[in-house]
Every structure is written in C-alpha cells, then in structure tokens.
Amino acid sequence: MSSTLMEVRNLKKHFPSPAGPVKAVDGINLKIEQGKSFGLVGESGCGKSTLIRVMLKLLEPTEGEIIFQGQDITKYGFREMRSLRKEMGMVFQDPHLALNPKMTVFDIISRPLKIHGLARKKGELMVQVVELMQAMGLQTEHMIRFPHELSGGQKQRIGVARAMAVEPKIIFLDEPTSALDVSVQTKILKLLEQARRERDLTFFYISHDINLIRVVADIMGVMYLGKIVEMGPKALLLKDPHHPYTRGLFAAVPEPDPDIIISEIQLTGEVPSPVNPPPGCNFNPRCPHVMDRCRKEEPEFKELSDGRSVACHLY
Ligand SMILES: Nc1ncnc2c1ncn2[C@@H]1O[C@H](COP(=O)(O)OP(=O)(O)OP(=O)(O)O)[C@@H](O)[C@H]1O
Ligand SMILES: [Mg+2]
C-alpha cells in the first residue's frame, strides 16, 4: 500500500524582472509517495531548484498549494515551518560549498541533532554520529577532520549523513552527485538507496542528467520550462515515452540501454525564455508533431489509464 507523503497542486513561482515575470515554476502538479524515490529530470534552467526551494518553503509560492502529510503548508510562516523543518532534509549539489570549513565532521553531523534537541550529551551525539557515518560508508576516524581534508565523495557522504541525522520523512537531493567522478557517483547512489530502504525514507531527486534519474527513480517526472510534461512509473516512461519532449530527451542518452526505445525525435532549437514562454503548449516551437491547436491551447496534464500523466494534445 502506498500513501501520499507530499503533494503540490498548480504550484507557481514567478520572479519579478524588468522584462516581466520569470515563470520559473509555472503550474506544477505532483504527488510523492511515502517510501519511494521520485526523480525529476529537466534541462538546465527549467526550474528544478526553484521548485524544491518552494516545496521546502525557502521561497514563497506565487500560487498553488503544498500539502505535506495531509497538512496544507502553503501559508505556513517561519515559526510553523520550524517544527516541520526536521521532517524535510536537503542535500546540495556542491559538497565543497555545503559544509562549513571551520567545523569538524563530528560538529557538522551532530549540529542538527543539537538544534532539534534530539541529543545533547556528547556520548549520545557520538553514538548517533558513528551510526550515521557507518551508514554512509565513512570511516569514523574522520569525525575529527575538517572538510578540506576530505575528498569530494567523502564530503557528499557527510552532507547525506547530516541530512539523515534528524530522521526526516523526505530528503530533497539537488544534483547530489554531479560534482563527483562517475565511479564515486555510483557508490554514493548505492549507499543512498540502501539507507533509504533501511530507514523507510522518501527521496526527491532533481537532475539535468537522465542517466542519474533513470538509475534512482521509482517515479519519474520530466520537466520543461516550468512545467511537468510527463510523469509516471519509471519503467513505463523508459519503455514507452509519450511526450515528444520526453522522447527527445531519452534519445539523447549517450549509451544505448535495452530498456530505452530509441525514438526518432531529436531535440533541436533553444529552450524559450521563461519570461516569454510560447502560447499554447510551451514545447510547440521545438515539437516535430506540432498541430495548430498546440499553438493556441495549453494541453491539460491528464492521467492516462496506464498510470502515467502527460500534457500533450496527442494523448
Ligand atoms: N531569484 C531569482 N530571481 C530571478 N530569476 C530566477 C531566480 N532564481 C531562478 N531564476 C530563474 O528561474 C529559472 C529557473 O531556474 P532554476 O535555478 O530553478 O533552474 P534549474 O532547473 O535548477 O537549473 P540548473 O539545472 O541549471 O540548476 C531560470 O530562468 C533562472 O534564471
Ligand atoms: Mg538547479
């Protein structure tokens, strides 16, 4: 049985700019199931990081609703969010910037435990830090080290251990391995997956890298210019992508994968500006199947009978 942990409805984030509002997030609908990995893929600038900042209430939404564990948190202020922060962890893209260079590994991982009053005595903190470091495959001797003494991969493991320390319900991972070598990436993704299963965690990954998302995701979303164009169980999307943008994105995967049916669609042209997205379907200027209707009418994000949702007039 799966249950919805988090849901966003018609979520928008528009940033003011001299040229008009930047529609970074422009009407997102999604559901995150408890205990699953949701992977959202989309090209640079499509609004992924903005979406998670709004979901975490680090940015105020322009419109829409954010529901977490059945509670509507859209209007929650700083104080109401404080008690919820513990439930929502975050792992950042760049481990070099994410860790305070003046703190030891022990201080970094134990800090959230202290802040949230989950452990105070040094002995208690020590037990938990050791357990978290072991879960992320780190040698516990490293707890007295400073970030600059560690490799990028080790730093990112510390970032994950810190995010897991307070036993959140969900962890948001923004390009968690893109700063790392491929071999290190694979190891970290395995550790993450193992920790997720053991701790019954829910992950929300975002990345421009389809190779990462297709490895980690149970449920996959494809984002284009502030909107999700297709979403559903990963196996379904990989086997038979429907939206022309999804098909183009998958066709650009460098190494052939027997799970992916190479489609005829090649993505050409530039992504339009989020200040002036095209009317109708915002993919229409790049779409090989464009019809008259696509230039006028925005397609509805429809759930199909196979369990996926797609926003395209062809379906
Ligand atoms: N604070 C801001 N003010 C104005 N525009 C912003 C702001 N933050 C983001 N944007 C714009 O919103 C759009 C989406 O940006 P965002 O960083 O969310 O994309 P992204 O998908 O995370 O990209 P990347 O893969 O490069 O990290 C971009 O056009 C960006 O320039
Ligand atoms: Mg980003």
User: Quick one: 151 and 207 in the same domain?
Assistant: no
Check residue 254 and give its pLDDT: 59
Task: State the pLDDT confidence band at 182, using cuts at 50, 70 and 90.
Answer: confident
Rounded mean pLDDT, 106-134: 93
Model confidence over 54-105: pLDDT tens digits? 999 999 999 999 999 999 999 999 889 988 999 999 998 888 888 999 999 9
Pocket of ligand 1 contains residue 41 by CB under 6 Å: no
Q: Length of the chain, please?
A: 315
pLDDT, tens digit, 9 for 90 and up, residues 204-240: 999 999 999 999 999 999 999 999 999 999 999 998 9
Nearest ligand to the C-alpha atom of residue 41 = 1
113 and 252 fall within a common domain: no
Question: How much is the average pLDDT of 242-269?
Answer: 73
Q: What separation in Å is there between the alpha carbon of 46 and the centre of ligand 2?
A: 8
- The partner residues of 220 in beta bridges, in order of sequence, read 39, 232
Round to whole Å and give the CA distance between 293 and 197: 45
* Residues 306 and 244 reside in one and the same domain: yes
CA dist 144 and 122 (Å) reads 14
Return the pLDDT at 179. 83
Same domain, yes or no: 31 and 141: no
**Given 151, 167, 183, which residue is the final one in a domain?**
167
CA 216 to chain centre: 11
pLDDT in tens, 18-42: 999 999 999 999 999 999 999 999 9
**161 in the same domain as 75:** no
Residue 159 covered by a domain: yes
pLDDT range class, residue 250, cuts 50, 70, 90? confident
Instruction: Name which of 67, 100, 92 is nearest 171 in CA terms.
Output: 92
Ligand 1 atom with the shortest distance to the CA of 223: 21
CB atoms inside a 10 Å sphere around CB 164: 23
pLDDT at 186 over 70: yes
Pocket test for ligand 1, best of 12, 17, 41, 48 (most atoms within 8 A of CB): 48
- How many whole angstroms separate alpha carbon 288 and alpha carbon 265? 7
The predicted pLDDT at position 225 comes to 96
Q: How many structural domains compose the chain?
A: 2
Whole-number percent of the chain with pLDDT over 70: 96
Q: What's the mean per-residue pLDDT of the chain?
A: 92
Pocket residue to mutate for ligand 1, from 50, 56, 60, 205, most atoms within 8 A of Cβ: 50
- Of 131-145, 188-202, 254-268, the least confident: 254-268
d(CA 120, CA 118): 7
pLDDT of residue 284: 96
Q: Which carries the bigger pLDDT value, residue 181 or residue 228? A: 228
- Tokens for 178, please give them: 């893109």
My answer on whether 179 and 142 are in the same domain is no
Residue 57 lies in a domain: yes
Greater confidence, 251 or 142? 142
Which residue, 167, 199, 217, sits at the end of a domain? 167
Q: How far is the CA of 206 from the centre of ligand 2 (A)?
A: 8
Domain span holding position 58: 4-87+168-310
Which atom of ligand 1 lies at the shortest distance from residue 22's CA?
5
What does the pLDDT read at residue 257?
A: 56
